[in-house]
Structure formats: C-alpha cells, structure tokens
Amino acid sequence: MYNNNAFKLGVFSPNCSGGMAISTVPESWDANWENNLALAKMLDEAGIEFILPIARWVGYGGETNFQGSNLETIAWCSGLLASTKNITVFATAHTSFHHPIVAAKMFATMDHISKGRFGLNIVCGWNAQEYEMFNIKLPDEHEVRYEYGQEWFDIINRIWTNDNPFNWNGKYFSLKNVQGDPKPYGQNIPPIMNAGSSNEGQEFAARNANYLFTVLIDLESGAANVKSFKERTAKLNRDVGVFTTTYVVCRPTQDEAEEYHNFYANEKADWPAVDQLMKLQGLHSQSFPPEAFTQFRNRFAAGHGVYPLVGNPDYIADEMEKIYKAGYAGTTITFVNYLEEFPYFRDEVLPRLESKGLRTSPIT
C-alpha cells in the first residue's frame, strides 16, 4: 500500500459469488477458495497493491442470489496472506459483529502472519436485513452508527498501542483489565480504510482512516468530493487518501467491450437481485445519491452501481488517468470473471499506466 505508485489499484469483492456483476451468465464469478487463491497469486505477481473483500451475510435473492455465497473476510484474509508475498490483503469487519478485544487480536495475528501486509476495512453498517439476522438493531441515525464505530476502533487502537492493562467505561462497552499482545507487526498500525458517504461517515474516515472509499458518479462531482474531503482532513491535520471503485470490461475494441457489457448487464442481468440491492441501499445507506437509483439501474446490474470502465485498453488507461487527475489515490477494479479477464488487463492496461507515469513495473 505504501509503494511509490501514484495511482494504486486493488481488486474488490472476489470473495463474493457474482463479484460485483449481477448477471446470470455462466461465466459469472464462482467465489470458491481455489479461484480466490489463484487470483490473489496472480495479482501479487502483477504488482497490484491490494485485495479488498466485501463482508456480506445475506444474499440479494433473484435467480442467482447475488453475493449469497461468500467467504468470511477474516478467515479468507488469513489464508491469502499466508499464501502471498507482497500484496496487502484487507479484511472487512462490521463493527457490531466482532467484539473489539477479539478483533484486535485477530487483526494483529494476521499482521504477523504476513509481516505487516494486513489492512482493515471498517464497516459501520447499513444493511438492516443482516443486522436483523444477528438480532442487533441497526441504528437509523448515522451519528449513532459511527459513534459506536468510534468506540469500537478506539478500544482496538488502545490495545494496539498500550502496554498496560486498562479499564474501559464507554457508552457501548464496559470492559475490565483490557490487554492484548502481540501488537501489530513492527508496532505499526495497519492501513485503515473506511467507506462512509454520509457526513458522519466522512468525519469518521477523516479522523481514523488512512484511506476513504467513495463511490464515483461522474468525474466532475468526484473531483469536487475529493476536494471537500481533503479540506475536511486538513482541518484535522491529517492526510487521508481517497479511493474510488470501478468495474472493468476491457476488450481489444470498443465495440467488443460494449457488446459484452450489454450482454451480461442488460440481456442477462438478474433484475430481481438488482432491484433488491438498489432498494436496500436506497433505504439504509447514503453511499449513492438518490438520483443514482433512477439513472443507473444498468450500472447496478453491471457492477453494483460503481463507475464503469468499458472499452479498449487505451480508453481504460485514459479514464484511469482522468480519475487520478480528479484527485483519487487509486481505484478498485472488478471483472465479471476475474481469473479470465484480469490477464488481459494486466498485459494491456498496466503497461499503458506505466507509460503515463502513474505506475511502475513490479520488481520481480
């Protein structure tokens, strides 16, 4: 994560069935362990900076039950860290589902397994259906979600940075004689990511994270969002990088890319699952502005609503350069079938990004 590449790349959601594409095509992503392991090794060799999983507990129904089968992110992360060399692997943790003392220990353990390549993506909750399954009430107010998240993260941080046992008397946790060893590898706090879109979410990221994740609707509003977030962090004397998230359909010609895009995300979309995802996101999360749900149904089918990169290698590299120029530190990418499609992206798009000075070749 801390290399010199100006524009960093991560691969998002390979632990979930379907990845980010809500489609019934037969090549749709099978999120089994063998596929995840093969993909992680391929990404590691290609010099991709990180892999980021989605923590999902209930699928979105439809014909495919999109994301209904998914590898639990902490166990998945440990396995991948033990099997790779350079890449950072994130675990995604819901603050309400993991006790902070257990979480601090699990995260530190993964950091040791990997000699400092563990990253933490903090999720303060939005999906009420999942919370119901745990019999935990998802607070309607974003202030409460992030206040809880703050206390959760403060406890973890204190365990990681404090050699002496401490008592904790907070609003949500009351704990005695709290201690935890080992600390993270080399006593360094792992990279922290947070995807908060609401005002409270962005404040949380500004205070605690190294990277904020935001959804990109268009380049103009994206540049304005990065600018206003940077102003927010400057007031706190913190430097927090902003990442966004995209899906990629890269083919030798623009026509081929658009044809396949139309096929998997229109003709073969799993529309009931698309509508369920959009309904839940619209009800409980502020990830997307309200107009996104009326304008971008197809974008949700194609890639969970994130920014489309559909075209030939020149087009994709040019678009990535524009995202960089809008102020983003990097983006995640996804594919309908990661293992089949990433090699073409690696061979054709990465060298173009290198020519633009946005990345360098990995040292082999």
Ligand X SMILES: Cc1cc2nc3c(=O)[nH]c(=O)nc-3n(C[C@H](O)[C@H](O)[C@H](O)COP(=O)(O)O)c2cc1C
Least Å from the CB of residue 112 to ligand X = 24
Strand partners, 89: 51, 118
Q: How many CB atoms lie within 10 A of CB 46?
A: 18
In the chain, the amino acid numbered 52 is: L
Q: How many CB atoms lie within 10 A of CB 351?
A: 14
Least Å from the CB of residue 233 to ligand X = 16
Rounded to 10 deg, the angle between the 33-46 and 73-83 helix axes is 50
Q: Would you say 180 or 196 has its CB closer to ligand X?
A: 196
Between 86 and 105, how does the x/- string for binding to ligand X read (CB under 6 A)? ------x-------------
In angstroms, how far is the first alpha carbon of the chain from the final one? 17
Residue 335 engages ligand X in binding (rule: CB under 6 A): no
Residue 195 engages ligand X in binding (rule: CB under 6 A): yes
Between 199 and 238, how does the x/- string for binding to ligand X read (CB under 6 A)? --x-----------x-x-----------------------
Residue 54 engages ligand X in binding (rule: CB under 6 A): yes
Q: 160-164 contacts: CB < 8 A, separation 24 or more?
A: 160/104, 160/108, 160/184, 160/189, 161/189
Least Å from the CB of residue 199 to ligand X = 8
Residue 28 engages ligand X in binding (rule: CB under 6 A): no
Task: Give the pair of three-digit tokens for residue 348.
Answer: 């054709």
SS3 of residue 358 by DSSP: coil
Total interface residues for ligand X by CB under 6 A = 18
Least Å from the CB of residue 338 to ligand X = 16
Q: Would you say 180 or 330 has its CB closer to ligand X?
A: 330
Task: Please give the Cα distance from 28 to 23 (Å, whole number).
Answer: 7
Q: Would you say 191 or 201 has its CB closer to ligand X?
A: 201
**Residue closest to ligand X (Cβ):** 201
Residue 129 engages ligand X in binding (rule: CB under 6 A): no
Q: Would you say 303 or 313 has its CB closer to ligand X?
A: 303
77 near 112, Cβ under 8 Å? Answer: no
Q: How many CA atoms lie within 13 Å of 46's alpha carbon, on the beta-carbon side?
A: 25
Residue 142 engages ligand X in binding (rule: CB under 6 A): yes
Task: Give the pair of three-digit tokens for residue 91.
Answer: 């675990």
Residue 257 engages ligand X in binding (rule: CB under 6 A): no
Task: Give the pair of three-digit tokens for residue 189.
Answer: 């706090």
Residue 141, C-beta contacts closer than 8 angstroms, at least 6 positions apart: none
Of residues 268 through 287, those in contact with ligand X by CB under 6 A are 285-287
Residue 138 engages ligand X in binding (rule: CB under 6 A): no
Report the interface residues with ligand X, using CB under 6 A.
54-55, 92, 123, 126-127, 142, 195-198, 201, 213, 215, 245, 285-287
